[in-house]
A = this chain, B = another copy of it.
Amino acid sequence: MENVKVIIWGIGAMGSGMAKMLLEKKGVDIVGVCSRRSHVGENLFDVLEMDAAGRQPIIVTNDIDTLVKQKSADVVLVATDSFTRDTFDKIKKVAENGINVISIAEEMAFPKAQEPELAEKMDQIAKENGITILGTGINPGFVLDLLILALTGTCETVDYIKASRVNDLSPFGTAVMKGQGVGLTEDAFMSGVESGEVVGHVGFPESISMVAEGLGWKISKIEQTREPIISTVARETKYVSVDPGNVAGCRHCATGEVDGEIKIDMEHPQQIHPSLEGQDTGDYIWVRGVPNIDMQIKPEIPGGIGTIAMAVNMIPHVINSRPGLKTMMDMPVPRAIMGDMRDMIER
C-alpha cells in the first residue's frame, strides 16, 4: 500500500506544527504545502529547521489549484482560518477535487451551529465528491465537547453539565493578546468587547450545540459573556505587559438553555501567567446526572500541541469515513499514531 498523502494549507504555527509532526510519522508523506505569502518558494525542511534526512525537498507554493488537482492527495489539512465563512471557499475547492478535508477553523468543529446553510452545502459537496470534511482541534473539537460527550456515555441520565478550561496564554503572540484584550485597561477592554476587537474564545456556540445535539437536547438559547480578568500584580510576557489594575485576560463564559433552563454551563478564562495569582490551570468537567462525574486534567491539555495532534491523528479516521460533513462525534475516538499510519486505513 502506498503511503498516505497529505497536503497542508497554511504554514503558520499550526500548519508548521502539523508538518513537523507528520514528518516524524511512518506511512505518511507530505506531498504539498500551500501558503499565501510567507515561505513561498522555500523548502519545508528549511522552514521547519529540520534535517531532511535524505528526503526530497518539499517546496512551499502559493498555487493551491495545481496542488489539489484531481485527487493528488488523500487529505488536505486546512489551517488558515477561525470562521466557517472565511474558510468555506477553500474547503469547497479541495472537496471538489475529490480530496478529504480536515479543518482546524474553530467554527468548523460544528459549523451548523452558526452557519447552517454553509454546513448543508459542505455536506452536499462532500457527498457528491465522495469525500469527508471534518472540523477538529483541542477546543472546540475535544475538551469542551467530545470529551464531555464521551464521559456522559457512562451515564444513565444527564441533568446538567458544567465545564471549565483554565489556560495560560503566556506563550502566544500579539494577535492572541489583542483578541483576548491582554494589557488593556478595564474601560478599553469593555469597548473592545463592544466593538468586537476583543473576541475571547471562538467556539462556544459550536461546543454547546455539539454537546446538546449529541445528547438529544434541543437548545433554545445560547448566551455568552466576556469579562476582563483584572490583575492585582504586574504580569509580563515577550509580547505584552500588564500593570496592576489592568487586564490580564478574558473570562469568556457561555450557557446553553433547554426549555428555559440552563443545562450547559461553560467557562474559559484565558490569561497570561495565571500562576502569579495562584490560579491553577486545568480542564474540568462536572456532569450532574446518574452518576455524577467530576473530571479534571491538570494542567490543561496545551492548546497548540493539542490542535496540531488532533488534526493529524484524525487523518486515518477521515480517510475511512463515509462521505459527508462530519463532526468529532460521528467519528471513532482520536488516538495517537505511534505505528505506521497505513495500518489504520481500512481497505
Residues of chain A having any CB pair with chain B under 8 Å: 21, 24, 138, 142, 146-147, 149-158, 214-218, 289-291, 293-299, 301-302, 305-306, 308-310, 312-314, 329-340, 343-344
Between-chain CB contacts (< 8 Å), 9 pairs: A142-B153, A147-B150, A149-B333, A150-B150, A150-B334, A154-B301, A154-B310, A217-B338, A330-B332
User: What CA separation (Å) do A343 and B214 show in the bound complex?
Assistant: 10
Q: Please indicate which of the listed interface residues A295, A313, A336, A338 has the most CB atoms of chain B within 10 Å of its own CB.
A: A336
Q: Cβ of A216 and Cβ of B154 under 8 Å apart?
A: no
- Please judge, given known A-B contacts A150-B334, A296-B296, A298-B294, whether A339 and B157 are in contact too, CB under 8 Å: no
Q: Cβ of A156 and Cβ of B336 under 8 Å apart?
A: yes
Which chain B positions have C-beta within 8 A of A214? 335
Question: Which A-B residue pairs are the 10 nearest by beta carbons?
Answer: A216-B339, A153-B334, A152-B336, A154-B306, A150-B333, A149-B335, A215-B338, A155-B336, A158-B336, A216-B338
How many of these chains are in the complex? Answer: 2
A104 to chain B, nearest CB (A): 13
User: What CA separation (Å) do A293 and B305 show in the bound complex?
Assistant: 12
Which chain B positions have C-beta within 8 A of A301? 151, 154, 291, 293
User: What CA separation (Å) do A299 and B294 show in the bound complex?
Assistant: 7
Which chain B positions have C-beta within 8 A of A313? 153, 155
Contact of A157 among B24, B153, B157, B298 (CB under 8 A): B24
Beyond the given pairs A153-B310, A154-B309, A293-B297, 18 more chain A to chain B contacts, judged by CB atoms under 8 angstroms and listed by A's residue number, are: A150-B150, A151-B297, A151-B301, A152-B334, A153-B313, A153-B333, A153-B335, A154-B301, A156-B308, A216-B337, A216-B338, A216-B344, A217-B338, A291-B301, A291-B306, A329-B335, A330-B332, A332-B332
